[in-house]
Amino acid sequence: MDRCIRTRFAPSPTGYMHIGNLRTALYEYLIAKSQGGKFILRIEDTDQGRLVEGATDVIYKTLEMTGLKHDEGPDIGGEYGPYVQSERMGMYMDYAKELVEKGEAYYCFCTKERLESLKESNAEGAAFAKYDRHCLGLSAEEVQAKLDAGEPFVIRQKMPDSGTTAFHDVVYGDITVENAELDDQILMKADGFPTYNFANVVDDHLMNITHVVRGSEYLSSTPKYNLLYQAFGWEAPVYVHLPAVMRDAHHKLSKRHGDKSFEDLVNEGYLVEAIVNYIALLGWSPSDNTEIFSLKELEETFDIAGLSKSPSIFDIKKLTWMNGEYMKAMDFEKFFALAEPKLAAALEGTGIDLRKIAALLQKRLETWNDIPAMVGFFKELPEYGTELYTHKKMKTNDEIALTSLEAAVPVLEGLADWNETAIHDTLIALAKKMEIKNGQLLWPVRTALSGEPTSPGGAIELADILGKEETLRRIQKGIAMLKG
RNA sequence: GGCCCGUUGGUCAAGAGGUUAAGACGCGGCCCUCUCACGGCUGAAACAAGGGUUCGAUUCCCUUACGGGUCACCA
C-alpha cells in the first residue's frame, strides 16, 4: 500500500491550546511525517455558541511555535479545501440524502418533546435510551407530505438490526460491538447543519484522510463511523485512538479545572521544545531508552507501535527537569538572549554584567520564571539573620564568620584588579595564612554577599559580579551584624 | 445501569511464557565542591486480586475489584 499517509488535526477554536490536543496534533504530525505523509489542519468551528475572538490565531501560532507545520489548511490552502468547516456547510445535506436514497438513513420528524419522554420512560432501570425508530416506518408518501408541509426534520443513520460491527484500532486492537447497542444517530440536525460525527466522516473522506487519530473517547462511536463509511461505500480510514492525558488518576487534564494550557506553560517559563519533547513521551515511548528528542529526531524515530493504551498523568516535575536539560544543552548565546529580558527586569539599574550571571544560571535554571527569585539579591541585599553564618559542613559559626570577614576586608581592599582569578587567589591565600579551611572563609563571605542560604555561585563568583565597592559594603554590613 | 477500554515502583515507562522485572523523573545517601546546582556513584520503591492453561506465568484465558470512556438535534 503506497497511498500517501494523510492525517489531520481538527481542533475547535477555543482560544487556547489544550495539552491533550497538542499531543494529539503532535502524534498526527509524527504519524504522517515519519512516513513521508501529509499533515492537514482543519478548523472545526461549527459550534457558533463557542466562538472566541482570535481563537484560530492561537491554533496557527501554536503550530508554528512547535514546528508542527501543516501541509494544507485554511491559511495556506490545498487541493481539498475549504479547510474551515463552517465554509463546507452546503455539502452535507446532499450526502445525507444520498444515504436516504440508499436506505441507509431516514427522515425523522419526532419532536424534542417526544424524544424526551422516550428517554424518561426508558430510564426506569437504566439510563440508556435508544431512539425507538418511530419514523422509520413512514412511507415515502408520508415523508414527502411532511416535507412539503415544511415540518422540521432530522436525518438519522439506520443501524443494522442484528449482527455485530467490528473494527481495528492501531493501538487498541480489534473491537467488536453488537449492532443492537447502536443508536440511530442523527446525521443532519433540524437546522440543516450536520452533526459533528457526520461532518467528520464526510470531511475526512473528502480530504482523503488515511489515518484518523483522536482521543479514546471516540472509541465507542467508531462502529457508527465505520457503518457510515460502509453505507457510502467508502474505504474506512486507519483508526488510531489515543489514551487520555490525565491530571491525576481520576481526571483528565482540563483547562476549566485550572490545568495549564500550552500558552500557560510557555508563559511560566517553559521552552517550547521541552514541552513538545515531554508530551511526546506521554503515551509513547521509543524502542530504546532515549528521552531527549528534537522534533526532527521524533520524526525520524517515531513508530506507531510505541503508543500505549493506558492514560498517563501529566507530571510537571518531569517536564521541569526536562526543561532544565534543554537549558543546559543550549548554546550560551541563545540562553543569554532568552534569559536577558528577565535578568534585565530583575536587575534594572544595577549595572551588573548580565552575561556573567547568565553563565552562573545556565546550569541551575529550570524555568525562566525562576530567574527573579534567584538573582534578586544581586540588586538588593535581603534582610537575613546571622544564623546563616553557621554552617555545619563548612565548620563555621558566628565567631569564625566575624574573624573571616574582618580578615577579608583588607586583602580585598588591596586588590587592584578586581576579577575572578585575583579574588580567588587572594582569598585562598588568606585562608591558608589564617590556617583555616577554605570554607570557613568563603562561606561567611558568600553569605554576607548574598544574604541567602543558597546562591547561584560561590563567594568568589559573587564578589566578582558585585564589584569591589558593593562587595566590601556587604561584608561590612555582615561584620556589623555579627558584632551587634 | 448497558456497552467499550484500561490496570508494571509515587509518576512516565520497557518487557510479549523462563529476566537478579530495564531506564527516566521524584525521593534518600555518598563523592566532587567556596553554598546551591551541575556531574559521578549508590539506595528504597512495582507486575490490582483469585482461579485456570503450562514443566514454568508480569506475559495467554476466565472471573472479581478498581479506574476511565460512552450512551445529545455538543463538538
Question: In strand B, which positions have an atom below 7 A from any protein CB?
Answer: 1-8, 10-15, 22-26, 33-39, 67-75
A2 Cβ contact list (under 8 Å, min separation 6): none
Supply the angle between the helices A222-232 and A196-206 in degrees, to the nearest 10. 50
Pick one of 3.40.50.620, 1.20.59.10, 3.40.630.30, 3.30.70.2390 as the CATH number of A88-242: 3.40.50.620
- A317 CA to B44 C1' distance (Å): 20
Residues 371-390 of A with CB under 7 A from strand B: none
Query: For residue A87, which amino acid is it?
Result: E
User: Sheet holding A186-188: strands in order across?
Assistant: A105-108, A154-157, A186-188
Domain boundaries along the sequence of chain A: 6-83+245-313, 88-242, 330-379, 386-483
CA atoms within 13 A on the CB side of A298: 28
Distance CA A136, CA A72 (A): 40
Q: How long a stretch of residues is chain A?
A: 484
Mean pLDDT, range A309-315, rounded to an integer: 97
Residue-level pLDDT at A126: 47
Question: Helix, strand or coil for residue A189?
Answer: coil
Q: Which CATH number does A6-83+245-313 carry?
A: 3.40.50.620
| A33 in Cβ contact with A297 (< 8 Å) | no
User: Exposed, middle or buried, A435 (CB in 10 Å: 0-12/13-18/19+)?
Assistant: exposed
Distance CA A37, CA A23 (A): 18
Same fold, A6-83+245-313 and A88-242: yes
Q: What is the pLDDT of residues A54-93, one digit of tens each?
A: 889 999 999 999 999 999 999 999 999 899 998 999 999 9
- A307 CA to B18 C1' distance (Å): 27
A169 sits within 7 Å of strand B by its CB: no
pLDDT, greater one: A3 or A62: A62
Cis amide leading into A152 (omega within 30): no
Residue-level pLDDT at A114: 86
CB atoms within 10 A of CB A118: 16
Element (H, E) at A167: strand A164-169
A73 sits within 7 Å of strand B by its CB: no
Closest to A296 (Cα-Cα) out of A31, A19, A41, A33: A33
| A193 in Cβ contact with A95 (< 8 Å) | no
Nucleotide nearest to A427 (CA to C1'): B34
| A251 in Cβ contact with A257 (< 8 Å) | yes
Query: For residue A344, which amino acid is it?
Result: A
Lowest-pLDDT range of A117-131, A221-235, A353-367? A117-131
A134 sits within 7 Å of strand B by its CB: no
A82 Cβ contact list (under 8 Å, min separation 6): A74, A88
A5 Cβ contact list (under 8 Å, min separation 6): A31, A32, A35, A36, A37, A38, A210, A211
A164 sits within 7 Å of strand B by its CB: no
- ipTM, two decimals, is 0.96
Distance CA A368, CA A363 (A): 13
A414 pLDDT above the threshold of 70: yes
Residue-level pLDDT at A119: 75
Distances, alpha carbon A131 to alpha carbons A53, A108, A312, A476, in Å? 37, 10, 36, 85
Dihedrals phi, psi of A150, to nearest 5 degrees:
75, 25
Dihedrals phi, psi of A54, to nearest 5 degrees:
70, 10
| Nearest protein residue to nucleotide B38, judged by CA and C1' positions | A363
**Sequence-ordered alpha helix ranges (H) in A286-417:** 295-301, 316-329, 332-346, 354-362, 371-379, 398-413
Confidence class for position A449, pLDDT limits 50, 70, 90: very high
Distance CA A456, CA A365 (A): 9
| A440 in Cβ contact with A396 (< 8 Å) | yes
Q: What is the pLDDT of residues A23-42, one digit of tens each?
A: 999 999 999 999 999 999 99
User: Exposed, middle or buried, A208 (CB in 10 Å: 0-12/13-18/19+)?
Assistant: middle
Percentage of residues in chain A having pLDDT higher than 90:
88
A173 sits within 7 Å of strand B by its CB: yes
Exposure class string for A309-346: b at 16+ Cβ within 10 A, else e: eebbebeeeebbebbbbbbeebeeeebbeebeebbeeb
Question: Would you identify the CATH topology of the domain A386-483?
Answer: Arc Repressor Mutant, subunit A (1.10.10)
Positions of A annotated as catalytic residues are 255
A120 sits within 7 Å of strand B by its CB: no
Nucleotide nearest to A319 (CA to C1'): B25
Question: Helix, strand or coil for residue A119?
Answer: helix
A250 sits within 7 Å of strand B by its CB: yes
A125 pLDDT above the threshold of 90: no
Closest to A74 (Cα-Cα) out of A99, A43, A112: A43
Lowest-pLDDT range of A51-65, A234-248, A348-362, A383-397? A51-65
Residue-level pLDDT at A77: 93
Percentage of residues in chain A having pLDDT higher than 70:
97
Partnered with residue A77 across adjacent β-strands are A73
Nucleotide nearest to A175 (CA to C1'): B4
Distance between the two ends of chain A, CA-based, in angstroms?
84
Rg for chain A (alpha carbons), in Å? Answer: 33
Dihedrals phi, psi of A246, to nearest 5 degrees:
-105, 155
Q: What is the dihedral of CA A398, A402, A405, A406, to 10 degrees?
A: 180
